[in-house]
C-alpha cells in the first residue's frame, strides 16, 4: 500500500514537467503554432514504425481504497481535538517547523514553518513521519534520514543523507465518523449510497488513473525512441515560448489550489529554486516544441491531421463535459489551435501504437 502511494506520487512528479507542457492553456503575447510552419523544415524523421514499448499492466494494489477512505475521506468529516499533553500518533495532524541540513548546511527547499502534516500520509520521505510518532508539543526532534534513490523531484538529492530538525508546534487529533452506509449517503457522490458503491467508485477511479499511467508510459517510450532517431533544427523561439508559458501557467494553477505562490510550491514539492525551475521549464518547453514538430511531420506524411468533423466532435464533448453555456462560450475561452494540435498528437499516437510492438508486463493482481 505504501509503495502504491509513493509510486503514484513519483509518477506524477516524473510526468509533470513533460506532460504539463502539452496542456491546453491560454497564454498572452505572440504565439507560433504548427500551422504557421512546415514541420519537415525543422526535423528529419528516422524510423517511427515497429517501435517497441512496454509498461506494467494497470493494477490497483490491495488496501489502497481502504487507505484512501481512512486517511482522506473520513478525516474530512471528523471532529477535532487539540492534544496539549499527549504525543503524536499515526493519523494525527502535527503542525511543525522543520529545517533540513546536508553536511551541516541548511539547503534550499528544505525548510518549512507552520506546516500541517498528517502522520501516515507519506507526504515526506521515508522515516520523517514515523520519526515524529511519540513526540510531544514543544519538543524538538532530530531525524537522521536519507533521500530516496532515485528522488524524482530533485535528482541531485538522490540517496543524499539529510538531517531534519523538527519542532512540534501543536497536535490535532480527529475523532472519525463511523463508516456506514448512512455516512456514505452524506457524501452526495452520484451513484454512491452504500459502502460497496463508494468502494467500487474509488476502485474504478484508481484503476483509470493506473490506465492513464500505462498509456503515458507507452506513449513516452514511443516518443523518446522516435526522437532519438530524429535530427532536429532549433524550433521557432515563439513556439518554445508558448510551451514555456503553458507549463508555467499550469504549475501556477496547481500552486493556487494549495494556497501557495509558484515559488513556494516549487520549493515545497519539488525542492527547486526559482532559477532551477525556470531552467527546467525552459528545457522541457524546448523538448515539447520538438515533440510536437515531430508529431506534425509524421501526421503530414501519414495523413493524420484532425478533420473538421473530429474537431467539432471534440468541441461538443468538452462543452458538455465542462458545462459550458454554449459552444460559443467554449470557443471564446479556448485556444482552438492548441486543441487541433492535441487532436493531431492523439491521432499520431494511435497510429504509432497500432504500428508498433506494444508489450504489457504482467503485474500481481489485486484482490480488492
CA–CA separation, 25 vs 334, rounded Å?
Answer: 8
Domain annotation covers residue 150:
yes
What's the Cα-to-Cα distance from 121 to each of 75, 124, 136, 196, 312, rounded to whole Å?
A: 12, 8, 19, 24, 43
Domain annotation covers residue 66:
no
Final residue belonging to a domain, choices 147, 175, 203: 175
Answer for the pair 286, 21: CB distance below 8 angstroms, yes or no.
Answer: no
Examine the domain organization and report whether 138 and 24 are in the same domain: no
Examine the domain organization and report whether 282 and 150 are in the same domain: no
Domain annotation covers residue 123:
yes
Domain that holds residue 323: 2-60+192-361
pLDDT at position 363, please? 72
Domain annotation covers residue 69:
no
Domain annotation covers residue 348:
yes
CA dihedral over 222, 223, 225, 231, signed as positive or negative? positive
pLDDT at position 126, please? 94
pLDDT at position 368, please? 42
Domain annotation covers residue 152:
yes
Average pLDDT along the chain, 368 residues, taken 10 residues at a time? 39 40 40 90 98 96 94 89 92 95 93 93 93 96 96 91 97 91 96 97 97 96 98 96 94 92 91 93 96 98 97 96 94 94 97 97 60
CATH number at 245 reads 1.10.3120
For the chain, the domain total comes to 2
Examine the domain organization and report whether 217 and 355 are in the same domain: yes
CA dihedral over 216, 25, 237, 40, signed as positive or negative? positive
pLDDT at position 364, please? 56
Answer for the pair 111, 98: CB distance below 8 angstroms, yes or no.
Answer: yes
What's the Cα-to-Cα distance from 316 to each of 22, 23, 49, 122, 336, rounded to whole Å?
A: 21, 19, 32, 40, 13
Cα separation of the two ends of the chain: 12
Examine the domain organization and report whether 40 and 84 are in the same domain: no
**Type and span of the H or E element at 192:** none
**Burial (0-12, 13-18, 19+ Cβ within 10 Å), 207:** middle
Domain annotation covers residue 105:
yes
Examine the domain organization and report whether 216 and 138 are in the same domain: no
CA–CA separation, 277 vs 265, rounded Å?
Answer: 11
pLDDT at position 58, please? 96
pLDDT at position 69, please? 95
Amino acid at each position: 500500500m505504501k509503495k502504491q502511494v509513493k509510486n503514484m506520487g513519483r509518477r506524477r512528479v516524473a510526468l509533470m514537467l513533460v506532460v504539463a507542457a502539452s496542456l491546453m492553456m491560454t497564454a498572452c503575447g505572440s504565439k507560433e503554432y504548427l500551422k504557421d510552419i512546415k514541420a519537415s523544415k525543422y526535423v528529419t524523421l528516422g524510423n517511427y514504425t515497429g517501435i517497441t514499448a512496454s509498461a506494467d499492466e494497470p493494477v490497483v494494489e490491495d488496501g489502497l481504497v481502504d487507505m484512501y477512505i481512512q486517511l482522506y475521506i473520513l478525516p474530512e468529516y471528523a471532529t477535532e481535538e487539540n492534544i496539549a499533553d499527549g504525543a503524536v500518533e499515526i493519523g494525527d495532524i502535527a503542525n511543525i517547523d522543520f529545517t533540513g541540513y546536508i553536511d551541516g548546511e541548511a539547503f534550499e527547499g528544505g525548510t518549512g514553518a507552520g506546516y500541517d502534516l498528517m502522520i501516515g500520509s507519506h507526504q515526506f520521505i521515508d522515516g520523517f513521519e514515523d520519526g515524529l510518532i511519540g513526540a510531544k508539543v514543544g519538543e524538538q526532534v532530530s531525524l537522521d534520514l536519507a533521500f530516496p534513490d532515485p528522488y524524482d523531484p530533485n535528482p541531485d538529492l538522490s540517496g543524499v543523507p539529510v538531517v531534519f530538525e523538527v519542532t512540534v508546534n501543536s497536535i490535532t487529533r480527529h475523532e472519525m465518523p463511523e463508516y456506514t452506509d448512512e455516512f456514505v449517503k452524506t457524501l452526495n457522490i452520484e451513484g454512491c449510497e452504500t459502502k460497496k458503491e463508494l468502494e467500487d467508485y474509488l476502485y474504478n477511479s484508481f484503476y483509470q488513473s493506473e490506465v492513464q499511467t500505462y498509456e503515458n508510459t507507452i506513449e513516452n517510450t514511443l516518443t523518446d525512441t522516435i526522437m532519438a532517431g530524429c535530427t532536429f533544427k532549433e524550433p521557432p523561439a515563439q513556439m518554445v515560448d508558448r510551451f514555456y508559458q503553458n507549463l508555467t501557467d499550469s504549475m501556477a494553477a496547481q500552486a493556487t489550489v494549495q494556497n501557495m505562490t509558484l515559488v513556494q510550491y516549487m520549493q515545497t514539492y519539488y525542492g527547486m529554486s526559482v532559477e532551477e525551475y525556470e531552467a527546467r521549464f525552459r528545457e522541457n518547453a524546448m523538448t515539447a516544441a520538438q515533440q510536437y514538430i515531430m508529431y506534425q511531420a509524421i501526421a503530414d506524411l501519414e495523413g493524420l491531421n484532425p478533420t473538421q468533423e473530429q474537431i467539432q466532435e471534440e468541441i461538443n464533448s468538452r462543452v458538455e463535459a465542462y458545462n459550458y453555456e454554449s459552444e460559443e462560450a467554449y470557443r471564446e475561452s479556448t485556444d482552438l489551435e492548441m486543441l487541433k494540435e492535441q487532436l493531431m498528437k492523439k491521432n499520431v499516437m494511435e497510429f504509432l501504437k497500432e504500428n508498433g510492438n506494444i508489450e504489457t508486463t504482467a503485474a500481481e493482481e489485486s484482490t480488492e
